[in-house]
Amino acid sequence: MNLSATLDDLYQRHLTSTTRAQWDYHDLLPWERGRNFQTEAWALGQGSLTPALTIAVETALLTEINLPWFTAGLKEMFASGPLALKAFIKTWTAEEDQHSRILDVYLSLSRNGDPVRRAQLRKHVLTEGYEIEGQSGFAVMVYTTLQELATRVFYQNLANAVNDLDRALSRILRAMAKDETLHFAFYRDAVKAYLDDDPGRLETVCEIIPRFRMPGATMPDFAARMRLIAENGGYGAEEYLTEVLDPLLRAWDVWDRDVPARVGDSRRALEIYRTRLDRIVRRRQGKEA
């Protein structure tokens, strides 16, 4: 099967799967908690979450609101790509559109976090914009695979962390994680198809992975937010290594794939990166023991 036909099959698989996983944000929101901010001003202690978990949810929102920038970048990168990729970007955008809306409305209904400060942050992040990672369509697919899987793991783990405090939020995060699972699966298998078509493309994979950073670095205090999320939201270096990076390295057969000689140095550099990350995780585990 040629590459274009494989991508067509992956897109049709996605359409079938997403129909079964369909959800609507108005069905999941706790509307009964809504109160008028003009007659009852926001104050600390009104929400259901701890401050750290509120920041974790807010960080997810401030990442999801970049959807217009994500879509514009993907559309540009895939302008001359296969039709299935172009179609997927449109479908992906429609599915992702619910994510920022449901988080924003949830935070307002539940009174978790200062709504005025959140509106200021939202405007700041959108004004700063976001430049999509990668110099080619394939590089963007590699980056986006990592991003989608990392987001899925973050949402699943955050859902577990908030479950006892706010069941409605836990259900929202699990619904979003299902979307991310399907998006990740499309990109993962698309990247694999491209690698099978030309093993030399593994050089790009090896170059993208060590540079990977989650989008959102333009938001204020991003590093501090990520530390809080690692401590309270269940997503840090260990989760990235064991639940994101290693599964993808296996799925793409990175270590055992026959590749041109020129890819050897890049693969060795990736191996060094993974070893360093493993040492960081083990060191942190030792401190926590």
Report pTM.
Answer: 0.94
Token pair 């959807």 is at which residue?
67
Count of domains in the chain?
Answer: 1
Contact (CB, 8 A) for 277 and 239 = no
DSSP at 167: H
pLDDT > 70 fraction of the chain, expressed in percent and rounded: 99
Tens of pLDDT, residues 37-86: 999 999 999 999 999 999 999 999 999 999 999 999 999 999 989 999 99
CA angle 88, 92, 94 (to 5 degrees): 120
Domain that holds residue 152: 3-254+261-288
The sign of the torsion formed by the CA atoms of 212, 17, 99, 67 equals positive
Q: Is the pLDDT of residue 24 over 80?
A: yes
Question: Domain containing 175 — which CATH number?
Answer: 1.10.620.20
